[in-house]
Structure 1
């Protein structure tokens, strides 16, 4: 689908965002491990969480919906069943990596498959530590899905130092560790998203600047009954759309404000953005609030490697903010972007090139020479079937003088099914 987006003189309105994908998927998987009924409010209807939910059902969970509440009857760690068919993770790397940990820990044989994009992403990072725990895993070219996970009789606990700050890798090892008699410990030098630790209430401690998270059979799996907050990664598009538009005021309600996810708030704040947070509160284990964003005068910023894990998903849209900031901005240490749904550094470069931006592509990032007065007539954008590139291109299109075109715009539905309707609401 090709979508046409017109330039906008103003952006006004109130939005409620789609549920957080990362939390939704964890809620489904952790509900499977819990023995009993969990009631999950605002579960995501996006493709990835729905793929995860179907996999959880194949592993024995019973799922039904009642008045908008997803009810999942979990089987406990001991009650997980061997699936009769392949576990199709769709486009979800979260599903494939987290479920691999569950299957290895539970001693369940299964085949994990996915779409072409997912099967093009390396799984080496989870295969190697899981095999060190005793797993038997067959993978295409030793690295790619489909993954064949074969039954093991016993799990070897381990101390695992995260080689990169990856929440999916961390969660995979901890989930396998939940089935061990002895503790498995994950040692984290740089912070990554902490939803797994929060939702499972795992033991955490700090030693010499490192965080150590432990998991074993002794950990009681908590009931997963809470309301999923709005996805901060979805809010990011409207935060940037608001700050780069001179006449803008957008209220975004019930947004997840997890401190390991919302570095973009601090980044935009340092750039001079007019952003206010109201009604901060807790929903289960996660902080939530309302965000008000208004048109702002932005200045350039340098994004250091240690900040990248906390804003990795927001870098495509952050590059748009940098384009309209005064001065030269840099993103470095973001090589992980080249291994997402597409090579996102390449895709961002193509997006910027389409409007005639002044920038340089680096191996692990970008240098963007911003200008608050930057203008362009129109552009044709290729989303590369990547939801975040499609939505970032749409926000950039709002600054065009004429209509711009976005190829494969339907990819936004992977994380934000109502994106185009919300865009119309703000510009209407």
Structure 2
């Protein structure tokens, strides 16, 4: 029987401060690079969500020692060249980041392994990663012409390539760079728009030399990495849900502490400002290449805008909550150039359109985005999460502006990226004083 959670509020306001969990993308990469590198790596602020824990379990099966105490992680690795061949399949669960990046890492290793995932991940296409890796000489095979998990990877020496990416994707870029780290010669990745650059920053933190020139990244193969210390800032993609809540609910104001401010991830801040929300960066710091700080978001009258082009890769995971935000803005919001949403944990364009329409929102799905008319009052009702953490959190935030309770099907998926989401929600929501 599928679990259902009822979320209901009576004319709430959202106030206070919050420190969201560690960044999921950075947590994955810290485990991966700490395991590729030789020696000890200490991680602070690790996201102990389901996806990142899958990444840890995979490297344990490859012979890497990983000890975890809450959000602190200690990795002791012999280095990629001394990994052991796993005796069991490597299970990525629902984590597309784990699966796609591991394809690049395992292709350049010395082990043979089979990578699997849950039913949802097994339907997500891997061809976009496999094609460039195979051009480097990677041996990757499976059913359905090798487009879906499970996939068997026979690690081998690869050859560097010069690859022009058809779509900006941090996962594909990272897989190629990881493979290029253990390939002969130079590997070059060219993007049409800059996607998340956590991999490039962290490779340098672990001692790799690479060259970034606009939308092009170059890395020489044969480089050895050394263990280091990594501090993971709060995940701005998780903070985005409470940022949207503060922006669209009258009299609301939330301060976000230690939240990541990597320039390739701050599209949500730009969109909130364009729509009219009050957003102020109170502190801005740098920690070994990753930026973080303190951000305040407060309510203001919101206007519909067009969201398209180069900004899309910087907020691809935030688009579900932006769509909800747009239902409360005046005028039309158009989201374009976001076809990537169709190959996430679910088809997020279809899922967001269907679920918000159930509540009475005016949302039209397009091939590469959505058109949202606002403002529209939202009704309560049943909302499916589709096992997608971003859709589940969007449904919970919708309860803040709906006239009735929201019943969320399968809310447990939210633990993938935000294990204490409902605790933070209850801490931030306050009853409105009688006017």
Normalised TM-score (structure 1) = 0.95
Q: Aligned equivalents of 1:234 and 1:66: distance in 2?
A: 22
Which residue of structure 2 lines up, in the alignment, with residue 226 of structure 1? Answer: 230
| Distance (whole Å) between structure 2 residues aligned to residue 254 and residue 419 of structure 1 | 16
SS, match of residue 421 in structure 1? helix
Return the match for 1:126 from 129, 133, 155. 129
Alignment of 1:385-404 (within 5 A): 385-404=387-406
Superposition deviation, residue 68 in structure 1: 5.2
Identify the residue that residue 88 of structure 2 maps to in structure 1.
85
Identify the match of residue 365 of structure 1 among 364, 369, 376: 369
C-alpha deviations, 1:223-264, integer Å up to 9, x for none? 341221111100000000000000211111110111111101
Query: Which of the residues 210, 214, 219 maps onto 2:219?
Result: 214
1:72-94 per-residue CA deviation (whole Å, 9 max, x = no partner) reads 01222322221121111111111
SS of match in other structure, 1:406:
strand
Is 1:312 matched up with 2:316?
A: yes
- CA shift, 1:349, in A, is 0.6
- 1:268-279 maps to which residues of 2 (within 5 A)? 268-279=272-283
Whole-angstrom CA distance in 1 between matches of 2:272 and 2:224? 39
The equivalent residue for 1:139 is 142
Question: How do residues 19-418 of structure 1 correspond to structure 2 at under 5 angstroms?
Answer: 19-65=22-68, 69-142=72-145, 143-152=147-156, 154-201=157-204, 202-206=209-213, 210-217=215-222, 219-371=223-375, 374-418=376-420
Aligned 8 A contact 1:197 1:213 in 2: no
Q: Structure 2: how far apart are the matches of 1:68 and 1:25?
A: 13
2:34, 2:75 within 8 Å by CA — same for their partners in 1?
Answer: yes
Are the counterparts in 2 of residues 77 and 179 from structure 1 also a CA contact under 8 Å?
no
1:343-398 per-residue CA deviation (whole Å, 9 max, x = no partner) reads: 10011111221121123211111111112xx3234222111111101111111111
> 8 Å contact 1:87–1:112 — kept in the other structure?
yes
**In 2 relative to 1, CA 195–222 (structure 1 residues): closer, same or farther, beyond 3 Å?**
farther
Taking a change above 3 Å as real, the CA distance of residues 67 and 381 of structure 1, as seen in their structure-2 partners, is: closer
**Counterpart of 1:144 in 2: which secondary structure?**
coil
SS in 2 for 1:333: coil
Query: 8 Å contact 1:174–1:215 — kept in the other structure?
Result: no
Question: How many angstroms apart in 1 are the aligned matches of 2:70 and 2:394?
Answer: 34
Q: Is the Cα–Cα contact under 8 Å of residues 86 and 113 in structure 2 kept in the other structure?
A: yes
Superposed CA offset, 1:194-239 (max 9, x none): 0000001141232xx542332411x342534122111110000000
SS at match of 1:145: coil
Per-residue CA distance 1:386-418 (angstroms, 9 max, x = gap): 110111111111112222211111111111111
User: Aligned partners of 1:387, 1:19: CA distance in 2, in Å?
Assistant: 15
Distance, in Å, in 2 between the alignment partners of 1:335 and 1:180 is 31
Deviates more, 1:158-167 or 1:23-32: 158-167
* In 2, Cα distance between equivalents of 1:392 and 1:67: 26
- Give the whole-Å Cα distance in 2 for the aligned partners of 1:137 and 1:210: 28
Change (3 A) 1:68 1:331: closer
TM norm structure 2? 0.94
In the TM superposition, what is the alpha-carbon distance from 1:65 to its structure 2 partner? 3.6
Does the Cα contact within 8 Å between 1:175 and 1:215 map onto a contact in 2?
A: no
Distance 1:84 1:292, change over 3 A: same
Moved more, 309-318 or 56-65: 56-65
Cα offset for 1:281? Answer: 0.7
**Partner in structure 2 of residue 15 of structure 1:** 18
Contact 2:21 2:234 in 1 (8 A): yes
- In structure 1, the gaps of 5 or more residues are none
Aligned partners of 1:161, 1:252: CA distance in 2, in Å? 37
C-alpha distance after superposition, 1:85-110 (max 9, x if no partner): 11111111111111111111113210
Contact 1:30 1:224 in 2 (8 A): no
Residues 381 and 175 of structure 1: is their aligned pair in 2 closer, same or farther, counting only changes over 3 Å?
same
Gaps of 5+ in 2: 431-435
Q: 1:375 to 1:68 in 2, by over 3 A?
A: closer
